[in-house]
Structures are given as C-alpha cells and as structure tokens.
Amino acid sequence: MSERLDTLADEHPTVSEALMTISGNVRHTATLLQVLVMTKMGPLSEPGPANA
C-alpha cells in the first residue's frame, strides 16, 4: 500500500507531501501491528530433542 502511495506522490506533485505523510503512517502502523502480533504470540520455541 505505501509503495503505491509513494508512486502516486511522484505522479502528482501537488499532493505529494500529503501522500508521503500517509505512506509513512501506513508503514509505521504496519510495523506496530507486526510488533503487537509478535508479542501476543510469545517467543517461538527452538527445535530441540524435547520438541522433536
């Protein structure tokens, strides 16, 4: 999504600042959601003899 917004910003200079801001917000939100999911999942178990 944010890559598409970057492309649109390049194609439409009059709204590029707003589109770049939205693009940054999309990336930031995606990163926060990824961190949230990882913290809710807990640590991944390491493969070992007990888990085999």
| Banded pLDDT at 46 (limits 50, 70, 90) | low
* d(C-alpha 34, C-alpha 37), whole Å: 5
Any domain includes 47: no
Yes or no: say if 7 and 24 are a contact pair by the CB < 8 Å rule. no
Q: Is residue 7 within a helix (H) or strand (E), and if so which, with residue range? A: helix 2-11
How many domains does one find in the chain? Answer: 1
Any domain includes 24: yes
Residue 2, pLDDT score: 66
Any domain includes 28: yes
Examine the pLDDT at 40 and tell me if it is beyond 80. Answer: yes
Q: Which domain holds residue 9?
A: 2-41
Instruction: Write the DSSP symbol of residue 14.
Output: G
Yes or no: say if 5 and 23 are a contact pair by the CB < 8 Å rule. yes
